């Protein structure tokens, strides 16, 4: 019976350790590749590297690139794919309108600590912009807010899973202790029942 209690307690502690580890390692920075100069309506690749804790490249994430139009504040999201070295990703984006935009990376697995990257989409192949070239802080804030919201939801999911595991462990421990306290009833022929 003591083995059950010890095993249950070990399971509870392991569950808490996993949940704590998941919450402790949950942030990354983004290192953009060279600046892009896309043309409206044409596919363009944006590259970046995900650095967990700002130091170690990691590919165990599923990033998306969120693009905000500075004039209209419209948001577009594009999935990114692993490309080249560990932690390096590329997203193929197509922006429908010329003008000032920003892009940022969101990660469902980690909190992203990076500012949105401004860029200008040109209307013609010569690269001349046909919209405002001043980046609107409102659109930049919208991209940052969306990225922060996705990261916070991820942390909340991890915390809920950890809490559920801890509660399940406590419940299992309580059941094990309840069974340990319960004594079997004496039966006929048992030395204890014969003495009564």
Please give the CATH number for the structural domain made up of 27-154.
2.60.40.10
pLDDT of res. 177: 73
Beta-bridge mates of residue 51: 29, 57
Q: What is the pLDDT of residues 52-74, one digit of tens each?
A: 888 888 888 989 999 888 888 88
DSSP secondary structure string for all residues of 149-183 = HHHHHHHHHHHHHHHHHHHHHHHHHHHHHHHHHPP
| Six-digit token string for 174 | 């309580």
Per-residue burial over 166-180, b = 16 or more CB atoms within 10 Å of its CB, e = otherwise: eeebeebbeebeeee
- pLDDT < 70: residue spans in the chain: 1-25, 124-159, 161, 180, 182-196
Per-residue pLDDT, 78: 92
- What values do phi and psi take at 166, rounded to 5? -65, -45
pLDDT of residue 149: 65
What per-residue confidence (pLDDT) applies to 145? Answer: 63
Do 52 and 137 meet the contact criterion of CB atoms below 8 Å apart? Answer: no
Q: What is the pTM of this model?
A: 0.56
116/61 Cα distance (integer angstroms)? 19
The residues spanned by each domain of the chain are 2-22+157-183, 27-154
């Amino acid at each position: 019976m003591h083995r059950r209690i010890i095993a249950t307690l070990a399971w509870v502690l392991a569950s808490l350790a996993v949940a704590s580890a998941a919450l402790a390692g949950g942030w990354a920075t983004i290192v953009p590749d060279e600046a892009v100069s896309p043309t409206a309506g044409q596919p363009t690749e944006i590259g970046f590297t995900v650095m967990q804790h700002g130091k170690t490249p990691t590919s165990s994430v599923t990033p998306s690139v969120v693009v905000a139009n500075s004039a209209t504040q419209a948001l577009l999201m594009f999935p990114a794919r692993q490309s080249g070295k560990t932690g390096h990703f590329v997203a193929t984006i197509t922006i429908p309108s010329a003008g000032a935009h920003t892009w940022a990376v969101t990660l469902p697995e980690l909190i992203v600590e990076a500012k949105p990257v401004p860029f200008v989409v040109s209307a013609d192949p010569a690269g001349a912009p046909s919209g405002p070239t001043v980046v609107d802080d409102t659109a930049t804030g919208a991209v940052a807010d969306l990225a922060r919201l996705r990261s916070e939801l991820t942390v909340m999911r991890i915390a809920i899973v950890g809490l559920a595991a801890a509660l399940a462990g406590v419940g299992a421990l309580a059941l094990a202790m309840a069974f340990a306290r319960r004594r079997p009833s004496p039966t006929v022929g048992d030395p204890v029942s014969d003495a009564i």
